[in-house]
Amino acid sequence: MIPRSVATPYRLTSHLPNSVAPPPTSGLSKSTIAQLIETGPQRAFELLVEQQSVNVAELGFENGQNCLHLAIAAGHTGVAYYLLKQAPDCTEKLVNGTDFNGNTPLMYAVTNPLHTPADLIDKLIAAGARDELHEALARSVMLVGHTAISERLIANGANAAAALAWLCSAEDLFRENVCEAVEYLLSRGADPQSVFDYAIERDLWRAILELTLLGYSASDQLIKAAQRADRVTSAYLVSGGVDTVPVLMHLATLPESQASGTSVTSFVPSNPLSMINLIIQELKIPPTGPKLALFKLARHEDLTPLRRLAETVVCGPLTLCELSKYRAEALKILHDVGLVPPHALEWLVRDGNLAQAQKLVMAGVSTDELMHKLEHEAYAEESWQQRASAAAMMLLLAAGAKPHKLRPETSAMVKLHRQRVLSAAATPGRLKETLRAAALQGKVCDLHVLLSRAESRSTARDVMKDLVAEGRIAAASMFVKSGLEVGKIIPQTILGCSDTATAHAMIIAADAVTYPDAVMLERLSGDFGRYSHATLALLELLKMEHRQWGRQVIPALTDGAWAVVECASTDTEESRQRVGQLRDMKADLCAAVFLAFRVVQYETAVRLIRWEPQIVHDALMRTFIDLEADPCARELAQSALLLAGATYTSALCEAAKAVQPEAAKRLLRHHRAAGPNLIRKLCEEPPNEPNRAICRFLLDVGADPQAVSKRLMVAVHEPGNRQRLKNLTGLLVRDPKYVSKASFFLD
């Protein structure tokens, strides 16, 4: 772009006479010649060139500009036309000369549309300008009043699709008028598919990302590439961060006849699913996408797509936390293909997690070898009843292991243990004490024995609720480990509760359950909130049409952001309706947008913005607070919101209305012009108290009204400006604190 100083880059030390006679060149400084080009009589410059034999192609000025640069920047088109009539070798050198920033005269012309006649573009190109016309077009459309210039560029062969790809890959995209620029290029033939193809061919990854923010699906491009076995394009898109979850889910749900592509070479798998998973493995990308696709497919009634994906996915065994969210039928498939860790059942029973151990046994995980191992260890220890191996063995039996291979004395000890626990809780009072003691001591075996009687479960829920209220969350989670109505049963349990406190306690306790492999396998993805019982229960309640209880979950247990992201991850009318229901429940839609950007679900974020356009101004304001620590997500979120029609001025207005001074200060630090723009907007109507409050807020956070008043006073005779000045005065003078700030234009 042309620097602000280009139009008047010199402080002149001499003055030209009013006549057109050219002074001797030996007495002219470069600054004087520059003044002659920019503001002097055209004929004087022509005589200087013709009579003094000045070689205009060799004249150089500050910033590396030539004569043609100066004439166009100053809007002195007569001089520009004259220069373009010189000898061909001279004009070619002029039109292709670059300043120190690499800008040619054509770039000066397209970025100065208010002072550039459209036919000048034709003459520059006819004179031999070698500029990339699509780049010139991309620069042009970002400016106010660009249409005439842009039309001439297109008429001379500028490709609108290439221009949009270039624009999407440039920093200029973050300017406020980018929305109009993109709409113009789309209206002039910038077909999104052509833009994708151009960007992929020329390695313009930023353009692909910005096209996604515009609402054009990069995952669709990956699906097409995978189906035609285009490994190069597929690898490029995967390496760039395209969301692979919808891609893997789509390919896994295709009919068998459509699921295979045409392999170009023996090194390219013909199965698109295999190829995508192989690329993810080869690029050493964390398998977050495949794991999430598995989780989503496991929630479908038909588990055939889950099996297809599980048979091709290369993500290693799942963690115990991840496995805990699957039902037994899905776990059987994962176990069959080796995605359940070999020692998962042993880890769970040793950790006392009966609820999850039961699901693994139902899924077909073998128990005989582990039973023999635990029984042997139990007899090798000094006190059988108090040793961990004995407790783990009893949990394994409770999980569904067959007891027929146990020693007779072992079976007798198990029965004796059960009798002792039940006798200790013979009365209701003693039952509550026994349940509490077992939870505090982490004796899941004892809890399971007690909960085997249906009449004990109501008391257990009361004890769990009391422990949560006391802050003893780990002890409360023992009830969940022992099998007290968790997982998919939680929504039904919630609906059957007489008070919401019990339901809250159950969810809090369920989310507090930890797993023994958590230390070895850290949750690096940062999206564990996606699998929280609060989120899953909320989603189940939405499906069951129990929205009233959902209002008890939000905001008591969750802000609903993860539930919104999950609903918006698929582009269906049903998903859109559920997002609307979550909005009515007061879910934080802005937080959901930011969350989607953080976990690289860009298409989900853009879809959510499209479905809920009323949030864009507030969301843009909140990016300066909520995403302050994540500059990459902040930049992308701001770009998407600007493309959706938000402006920094409107975001500043939202900050003022919400009295968010920190957000306003950060916004002004990045976009200083937003302050004067908002003040100017307030001047359009008579002063009122809400506008005065906004104006006072703006002054407090550092916005300067002088820029507005000076512009208005310079053009005071233009229609409406005198009234705007009066309105500005009225905005400031009501409060004595701000009278001094208004005094500069009250005189």
What pLDDT digit, counting tens, does each position of 392-430 carry?
Answer: 898 999 998 888 778 888 888 888 888 888 888 878 789
The average pLDDT across 64-93 equals 90
Query: Does residue 196 form part of some domain?
Result: no
- The three-state secondary structure class of 257 is coil
Q: pLDDT class for 9, splitting at 50, 70, 90?
A: very low
> Is the pLDDT reported for residue 122 higher than 90?
yes
Give the model's pLDDT for residue 57: 83
Query: Does residue 725 form part of some domain?
Result: yes
Query: Does residue 454 form part of some domain?
Result: yes
Q: Which of 137-151, 164-178, 664-678 has the lowest mean pLDDT?
A: 164-178
Strands (DSSP E) along 600-706, which ranges?
Answer: none
Query: Does residue 484 form part of some domain?
Result: yes
Give the model's pLDDT for residue 471: 93
φ/ψ (deg, to 5) at 352: 80, 20
Query: Does residue 198 form part of some domain?
Result: no
Give the model's pLDDT for residue 211: 84
> Is the pLDDT reported for residue 747 higher than 50?
no
Tell me 375's DSSP state: H
Q: How far apart are CA 590 and CA 616, in angstroms?
A: 8
Is residue 466 located within the same domain as residue 398?
yes
Give the model's pLDDT for residue 178: 77
pLDDT in tens, 266-295: 444 568 888 998 899 888 888 888 999 999
> Is the pLDDT reported for residue 109 higher than 90?
yes
Is residue 358 located within the same domain as residue 507?
yes
Chain Cα centroid distance, residue 195: 22
Q: How far apart are CA 159 and CA 134, in angstroms?
A: 5
Tell whether omega for the bond before 555 is within 30 degrees of 0, i.e. cis.
yes
Q: Is 125 left (phi over 0), alpha (psi -120 to 50) or beta?
A: alpha
Give the model's pLDDT for residue 545: 74
Is residue 282 located within the same domain as residue 252?
yes
> Is the pLDDT reported for residue 711 higher than 60?
yes
Of 693, 636, 698, the closest CA to residue 673 belongs to 698
> Is the pLDDT reported for residue 347 higher than 60?
yes
pLDDT in tens, 350-404: 999 999 999 999 999 999 999 888 888 877 766 555 577 888 898 999 998 888 7
**Residue where one domain finishes, among candidates 462, 482, 511:** 511
Residue type, 353: N
Is residue 385 located within the same domain as residue 246?
no
Q: Which of 135-149, 429-443, 667-681, 709-723 has the lowest mean pLDDT?
A: 709-723
Give the model's pLDDT for residue 477: 92
Mean pLDDT for all residues in the chain: 83
Whether the Cβ atoms of residue 682 and residue 674 lie closer than 8 Å to each other: no
C-alpha to C-alpha distances, 654 to 290, 453, 538, 601, 694, nearest whole angstrom: 39, 57, 30, 26, 10
The average pLDDT across 725-736 equals 73
Is residue 353 located within the same domain as residue 467?
yes
Is residue 601 located within the same domain as residue 658?
no
Question: Does 584 or 737 have the greater pLDDT score?
Answer: 584
- In the chain, the percentage of residues whose pLDDT exceeds 70 is 86
Q: How many helices (H) and strands (E) does the chain have?
A: 47, 0
Query: Does residue 709 form part of some domain?
Result: yes
pLDDT in tens, 534-569: 888 788 878 877 666 667 778 877 889 999 999 999
pLDDT in tens, 591-635: 999 999 998 899 999 999 999 999 999 999 999 999 988 888 898
Q: Which of 199-203, 514-518, 643-647 has the lowest mean pLDDT?
A: 514-518
Is residue 440 located within the same domain as residue 558?
no
Query: Does residue 167 form part of some domain?
Result: no
Give the model's pLDDT for residue 287: 87
pLDDT in tens, 40-54: 788 888 887 777 667
pLDDT in tens, 198-216: 888 888 888 888 888 888 8
- Residue 8 tokens, joined: 């008047």
Is residue 411 located within the same domain as residue 289?
no
CATH code: domain of residue 126: 1.25.40.20
The total number of structural domains that make up the chain: 5
Strands (DSSP E) along 343-426, which ranges?
Answer: none
- In the chain, the percentage of residues whose pLDDT exceeds 90 is 36
Q: How far apart are CA 657 and CA 180, in angstroms?
A: 27
Is residue 33 located within the same domain as residue 147?
yes
Q: How far apart are CA 164 and CA 185, in angstroms?
A: 7
Query: Does residue 436 form part of some domain?
Result: yes
Is residue 12 located within the same domain as residue 59?
yes
> Is the pLDDT reported for residue 191 higher than 90?
no
Q: pLDDT class for 348, splitting at 50, 70, 90?
A: very high
**Residue where one domain finishes, among candidates 632, 666, 696:** 632
User: What is the per-residue DSSP string for 521-559?
Assistant: S--TTS-GGGG-HHHHHHHHHHHTT-HHHHHHHTTTT--
**Residue where one domain finishes, among candidates 580, 605, 632:** 632
pLDDT in tens, 455-471: 888 899 889 989 999 99
Give the model's pLDDT for residue 263: 43
Is residue 306 located within the same domain as residue 410?
no
pTM over 0.85: no
Is residue 556 located within the same domain as residue 662?
no
Q: Which domain holds residue 231?
A: 217-316
Q: How far apart are CA 291 and CA 286, in angstroms?
A: 10
Q: How far apart are CA 444 and CA 429, in angstroms?
A: 20
